[in-house]
Chain A
Amino acid sequence: MKSSDSPNGKLKMPSPQLQQQQLVVAAAAANSPHQLQQQLQHHHHHHQQQQQQSQQAQVLQPLKQQPQVLQPSRQQQQQQQQHQQHFIQHSQPQTQQHSPRHLQQTQSKCHASQPPQQHHHPHHQQQQPQQQQQQQRPQKETHERHYEFLAHVGSGAYGQVFKARDPARENVVVAIKQIRIRRSGRSHEKGMPMAAIREISLLKQLETREHPNIVQLLDVHHQDISDRDICLSLVFEFIDQDLNTYLERCPPPGLGPDRIRDLMLQMLHGLDFLHANRIVHRDLKPQNILVTRSGVLKLADFGLARIYASDMKLTTVVVTLWYRAPEVLLTGKYATAVDTWSCGCIFAELFIRRPLFKGNSEGDQLKKIFDVIGLPDLSEWPESAVLLWNSFRNTRPPPIDHFVPELDNQARDLLEKLLVFNPDRRIIARAALNHPYFRDDLESIRTTSSLSASENDSFSDGRSDTPVSK
C-alpha cells in the first residue's frame, strides 16, 4: 500500500463498492464471457462516475488541508478488472476440456480478488436488484466506509499507523493500523497466516463486550497487495496520548500515589479481561498503554505481537526488551504471566518515571533484572534456558525500595509479587486486583489527578525506607 503506486498520490484502501461490484462480476462470470464483458464495461463506467463524485466531494469539503480519501485508484481498478478478464478467457478452454461443472464454476467464480466489505443486506450480492441498488446508492453509500486521512501517526516494526476520520460514524477519529503480512516462504503456504486469523478472530470476539480499559477494534480490512503480501488494516478508536508521553508531560514531583493506584487498577482490570478471554498481550509497555484526557487507561496492541512475530525476525528494528519477562528472555515461551511481569515493570516506572530495567541486550536485561530481584535458586532455572544459571552473578540485592523509593508497604508487596522470577508463582491479574493495595480507599481513587499534593502522603507513611527482610 504505497501511496506512490497511485497516480494521484492517494492512499489506497479497500473500497466497499468496488469489491462488491467485482463480486457481482465474478458471480456473473459463470454465465457467459460475453455477458461478463458487458458487465465489466458497465461497472467500469460506474466506477468513473463514482470516482468523479468522490473527487467532487473532496473539493467541496471546507477543510484547510486537502483530505485524502482512502480509496483505490482508478488504475488499480482497471488492473484488477483486466486481470479478471484475462483469467476468465484463459481458463475457458481448459474447463471445457477436462472439467465437469463444479470445477468450471470453481475456476470462474472464485476470482473475486477483493472480498467485499460485508454489508448487512445480503441482496447486495444478487444480480437482479442491481438496478435499484444503483439508483439508491449515490450519496449515502459513496461516503460509507471511506476513511478520511488526517495524519501519519507513526511507523513501527510492523507497519504504519494513520489517524483518520470516519464520516460514516459522525466523523469519529480512528487510528488505522496497517500491518503487512508476509506469507511465509518456507512452506509456500498461501492465504492468511494461521496466527493472524486466530488473533483477529479472538479480538473480534471482544467487540461485543466493550471493556473500558481495552482499546476498541472497530473494523478489519484486508487486501492482497502482491503475491507475497497481505495488507491488514485494523481500525481502532483513536487516543492521542500513551502512558510514555503521559509520564513525560507529568511535572517533576511525579504522579501522586492515588493516581498511580488508579492507573494500576485500570491496567490490571484490562489485563484480567484479556487473560479471561484467552489473549496474551505479549508486548505490554508504556507505548502500548493509552491514557485519555479524562484519565481512562486503555490497553492497545494486544495480541498483535503474534501476528507480526514472524516478520519481526526479518526486520532490523530494535524491539524493546525492558518489559520482557525473564522466562521469555531465557526460553522464548509465552503465557499470561509475561504480561503481569510487564505490569510490574510499568508499576515501578510509574513511581520512578524511567524504566526499571534498561537492558541493551538479552543477557544485559537479565543481569539488570537479577540485580534487583536477585538470582533465583538453581532449582527454579528453566531446563530449556538458553543461558546458564552460573553465568550470572549471585549477589544479594538491596531491598526493592532502593530502586523504587516512595513505595508504601502494600505497593511494595504487590510489586514484589509481580516481579517474581518463576512465572508459575507470579501473581495473576485477577488475584492482583484483590491485593490489599487496592483495597484501602477504593472510593477516592478515581477522583484525583493530584500530582504534587499527595507527594508527601507516601512519606507520611514513614515506613517506605524500612528495609525488607528477605
Chain B
Amino acid sequence: MSESETRVHFRVMRYIREAGLKLHLENVPIATASTIYHRFFREYQLKDYDPFLIGVTCLSLACKIEEQNVRLRDIINVCYRTLHKNKAPLEIGDTFWQLRESVTQCELYLLRALKFKVVFDHPHKYLCHYLKAVSDWLEPRHWEEVPLGRTAWALLCDCYHSDLVLEHKAQHLAVSVLYLALQCHGLEVPLQRQAALRWYQVFSRDVSLEIIQTIITKIMAAYDVENQVPR
C-alpha cells in the first residue's frame, strides 16, 4: 500500500469514527465498520472506489450486523454533515435520495464482495476481561489513580485507523494495547520475577513479546500517519 493510500484510509477511518460517535454508536459497531472497510480495501483498489461512500456504507452495514437500530436517513445526514462541514445540512431532495440509493446499492455490493463474511471477533471483549484481571493484580492505589482502562481502550479504538486489525488475532491485539497502556503509565504487573508465566501469557498462551512488539510498532506507525494528515 502506498503512503498516500495509507493516508486516505486513515482519513476515512477518522471520518467513520467521527460520524459513528455523532450517531451515538458504541465502539464495537464502529470497529465492525472499520474492519469491513479494511477487508474491502485489502482486496479492491482504492482508485476504483470512492472511499467515503464505502465508509458510510460500512457504517450502515455495521449497524445492521451489530443490531443497532439506526436509521439510514440519520446515517446519511450525519455523514453528509461530517464530510461537508461548511455546508447547510442535507435537505430531503434529489441529492438525499441519490445518496440513499448509493448506500443501499453499495451495501449489497459490499456483502457480496465480502461473501457475507461480516461477523468478526473483536478484541474489545477480551480487553475488558484482561482489564478486570489486571485491576486485581495492581495495587489499588495505582488502579484508582491511573486511567489505565481508558488509555488501553483509547489505544484499541485507535488501532482501527490502520489495517493492522486484520493481521492479528483479537486476543493478541487486546494484550498488546494493554501492554502499551501499562508502559505509557509506567506501571508494571507486580511479581513478574516470581511468576512462571509472563502476565500476557496468562491471557493468551500463544502470544510472545515479539508479537506484542510487532503490534505496538504498527500502532505507533499509525500515530505517525496522524501527524501527516491535517485535521
Contact = CB atoms under 8 A, between A and B. Distances in A.
Interface stretch (A109-117, A366-374, A414-422): A109-117
B115 A118 contact: yes
Q: How large is the interface on B (under 10, 10 to 19, 20 to 34, 35 or more residues)?
A: 35 or more
A115 B113 CA distance: 7
A353 interface: no
Contacts of B101: 110-111, 190
A107 B103 CA distance: 10
Contacts of B111: 115, 192, 197, 222
Given A110-B105, A115-B112, A205-B119, A198 B67 contact: yes
Given A116-B113, A191-B72, A222-B111, A198 B100 contact: no
A201 B108 contact: no
Nearest to B107: A191
A70 interface: no
B72 A94 contact: no
Interface string B152-174: 00000000000000000000000
A126 B112 contact: no
B117 A126 contact: no
Contact of B60 (A98, A103, A191): A191
B98 interface: yes
B117 A222 contact: no
A194 interface: yes
A106 B112 contact: no
B213 interface: no
Interface string B136-163: 0000000000000000000000000000
B109 A112 contact: yes
Contacts of B98: 91, 107
Interface stretch (B42-50, B175-183, B186-194): B42-50
A100 interface: yes
Nearest to A221: B112
B53 A110 contact: yes
A118 B106 contact: no
B64 interface: yes
A184 to B, nearest CB: 12
B112 A201 contact: no
B66 to A, nearest CB: 9
Contact of B108 (A102, A122, A191): A191
Contacts of B60: 191
A170 B108 CA distance: 29
Given A111-B102, A201-B119, A106 B52 contact: yes
Interface residues of A, number: 44
B84 A110 contact: no
Contacts of A27: 48-49
A164 interface: no
B99 interface: yes
Nearest to A230: B108
A404 interface: no
A239 interface: no
A464 interface: no
B116 A201 contact: yes
A99 interface: yes
A116 B100 CA distance: 20
Interface centre among B95, B100, B117, by most chain A C-beta atoms within 10 angstroms, is B95
A125 interface: yes
Given A122-B43, A126-B45, A191-B103, A109 B53 contact: yes
Nearest to B106: A110
A189 interface: yes
A200 interface: yes
A91 B102 CA distance: 12
Given A99-B95, A192-B64, A201-B116, A106 B53 contact: yes
A194 B108 contact: no
A205 to B, nearest CB: 6
B28 interface: no
A192 B117 CA distance: 14
A112 B105 contact: yes
A98 B80 CA distance: 13
A247 interface: no
Contact of A192 (B48, B107, B114): B107
A189 B72 contact: yes
Contacts of B103: 110, 191
Contacts of A204: 115-117, 119
Given A30-B50, A191-B72, 14 more contacts: A94-B95, A110-B101, A115-B109, A115-B112, A115-B113, A118-B113, A189-B71, A190-B100, A192-B108, A197-B61, A204-B117, A220-B116, A222-B108, A222-B112
24 contacts: A30-B50, A102-B52, A111-B105, A112-B106, A116-B113, A118-B113, A118-B114, A118-B115, A125-B44, A126-B48, A189-B71, A189-B72, A191-B60, A193-B64, A194-B67, A197-B111, A197-B116, A197-B118, A203-B116, A204-B117, A205-B119, A220-B115, A222-B111, A224-B108
Interface of B: 43-45, 48-50, 52-53, 60-61, 64-65, 67, 71-72, 83-84, 94-95, 98-119
Interface of A: 27, 30, 91, 94, 98-100, 102-103, 105-107, 109-113, 115-118, 122, 125-126, 187, 189-194, 197-198, 200-205, 220-222, 224, 230
Closest 6 CB pairs of A and B: A110-B102, A115-B112, A115-B109, A105-B50, A191-B104, A194-B64
